[in-house]
Amino acid sequence: MQEPRPRRPRIADVAQVAGVSKASVSFAFNSPERLKPETADRIRSVAAELGYRPHPVARMLSERRTMTIGVLTPQSLSQVFANPFFAYFAEGVSAVTEERGYGLLLISPLRGSLARALDRATVDGVVALGLDETHPEIEAIRHANLPMVLVDAPAWPEHAAVEVDDEAGARAAAQHLVDLGHRDILIVAVEGPVAEPEGQHDGVMGRRLRGYEAVLEAAGIALGPDAVVVAPATFEGGEAAFLRAWEDGRRPTAVLAMSDAVAIGVLQASRHLRLRVPQDLSVVGFDDLPVGRFSDPPLTTVHQPVRRKGEEAARLLLEELAAKPGAAAPHRVLKTRLVVRRSTAAPPSVVVDEEAPLPQ
């Protein structure tokens, strides 16, 4: 006959052995400053001998905090993880939260609803990545009354924000290609809001597009209706987008990609088409992820401090959790810079093979 499983020690057992009340045991773990140090130490020592530890849910309810930070993503986790940008951003967030004893919870749309997912997330606050006031569910998210830090979005009066100077970075990338002599440039945008009616915020990709356009128009380069193609922010997305543009008859001498993942996909597509980079095609990315240094050839790109962006967002959120109501919500704008590697050069002076077969 199987012996019954030993009963888990309870708070009453600790109180009886230590000769204190159950409230004192709770104070020893949750508010030790309310006890004499020697009393708190004795209670915890008895608890360790008995194998007692506070139940995490009960502790959460008593403290009214979960010690968990949520990272809110507007896309499914399968899409998010396909973009290496997110890994470096999450690394920055977790480096700060773990140091302060907080866990990390990734929150993505539940059956298509980000608001529904947030309702079920037990977190003390959220870092909202890539969301702004144009997002259709933003009002529901705001009504959750959780402390929130926005990433890659303008600050609201009640929420802190972290972003990079996307427009300046895009200007530097476009100017680099113009200075090299390129006139036929394809822009590969990332799926999401790229252009909004005048006066509305248009998101990260809209700001980057605005930067590209300003430089190209100043150089007398008109952007036609086929000058911008859209792709998921993945290697495969960039590859497929460039191949579609090629099939549609586009023959650019250079590509401005709105993410490194997309740019590396374009490099792969160029190999399928027997295009040499940079002799036949120049490619510029945006992010400066470590993978870009090891692409073939190494990728010219716009550096943004991705990991630091995550760190800053986490710090701001933890500061907001500790701040008094009505405290000012800071807005951090991080700088970008162009990193020139071997994927860009002057435009070709020879005709490329237009009969190259497409991959199956």
- The model's pLDDT over 274-306, given as tens digits with 9 standing for 90+, comes to 999 999 999 999 999 999 999 999 999 999 999
Nearest to 205 by CA among 225, 226, 187, 190: 190
Specify the DSSP class assigned to residue 110: B
Same domain, 131 and 254: no
pLDDT tier, 181 (very low <50, low <70, confident <90, very high otherwise) = very high
For residue 145, is it within any domain? Answer: yes
Determine the average pLDDT of the residues in 331-353.
85
Q: How many domains does the chain have?
A: 2
233 lies in some domain? yes
Coil, strand or helix: which one is 308? helix
Residues 226 and 147 reside in one and the same domain: no
Provide the whole-model pTM. Answer: 0.78
Single residue among 305, 325, 355 that ends a domain in this structure: 305
Residue 218 has pLDDT above 50, yes or no: yes
Shared domain check, 298 and 174:
yes
Same domain? 242 vs 319: no
Residues 274 and 208 in one domain: yes
Task: Write down the pLDDT at residue 341.
Answer: 97
Geometric angle at alpha carbon 127, from 133 and 131, rounded to 5°: 25
Co-location of 135 and 210 in the same domain = no
Domain contains 158 = yes
Query: Which pair of structure tokens corresponds to residue 41?
Result: 């130490």
Shared domain for 301 and 327, answered yes or no, is no
pLDDT for position 287: 96
Q: Is 231 helix (H, G, I), strand (E, B) or coil?
A: strand
* Mean per-residue pLDDT, 335-344: 97
Taking residues 58-68, what's their average pLDDT?
61
Summarize the confidence of residues 136-158 as an average pLDDT. 77
Domain assignment present for residue 17? The answer is no
CA dist., res. 90 & res. 72, Å (int): 11
Q: Give me the pLDDT at residue 245, please.
A: 97
Q: How confident is the model at residue 357 (pLDDT cuts 50, 70, 90)?
A: very low
φ/ψ (deg, to 5) at 162:
-130, 130
Task: Spell out where 2-72 has E strands.
Answer: 68-72
Predicted confidence (pLDDT) at residue 79 exceeds the cutoff of 90: no
Residue 21 lies in a domain: no
Structure confidence at residue 3 (pLDDT): 52
Contact 38, 44 (CB under 8 A): no
CA–CA distance, 290 with 339 (Å, rounded to integer)? 12
- Residues 155, 187 within the same domain: no
Q: Report yes or no on 38 lying in a domain.
A: no
Q: Which two tokens stand for residue 243?
A: 């191949």
Q: What does pLDDT average to over the chain?
A: 85
The structure tokens 């997330």 sit at: 121
Q: Is residue 22 part of a domain?
A: no
- Asked if 198 and 299 sit in the same domain, the reply is yes
The pLDDT confidence band at residue 64, using thresholds 50, 70 and 90, is low
Q: Region 52-70: what's the mean pLDDT? A: 65
CATH number at residue 141: 3.40.50.2300
pLDDT, residue 65, reads 66
Judgement on whether residues 109 and 185 belong to the same structural domain of the protein: no
Confidence band of 162 (pLDDT split at 50, 70, 90): very high
Top-confidence residue, 203 or 165: 165
Number of residues in the chain = 360
Ranked by mean pLDDT, the top range of 72-76, 112-116, 243-247 is 243-247
Q: Is 291 helix (H, G, I), strand (E, B) or coil?
A: helix
**Residue 36 belongs to a domain:** no
Quick check: 110 pLDDT over 80? no
Q: CA-to-CA distance for 22 and 13, rounded, in angstroms?
A: 9
pLDDT: which is higher, 4 or 21:
21
290 and 183 within one domain: yes
From 285, 305, 325, the end of a domain falls on: 305
Supply the range of the domain harboring residue 141. Answer: 68-164+306-335
Q: Which residues are within 8 A (CB) of 222 and not within 5 positions of it... i.e. 6 or more apart?
A: 216
What gap in Å lies between CA 257 and CA 244, rounded to an integer? 15
Does residue 302 contact residue 286 with C-beta atoms inside 8 Å? yes
In this structure, the answer to whether residues 291 and 322 fall within a common structural domain is no
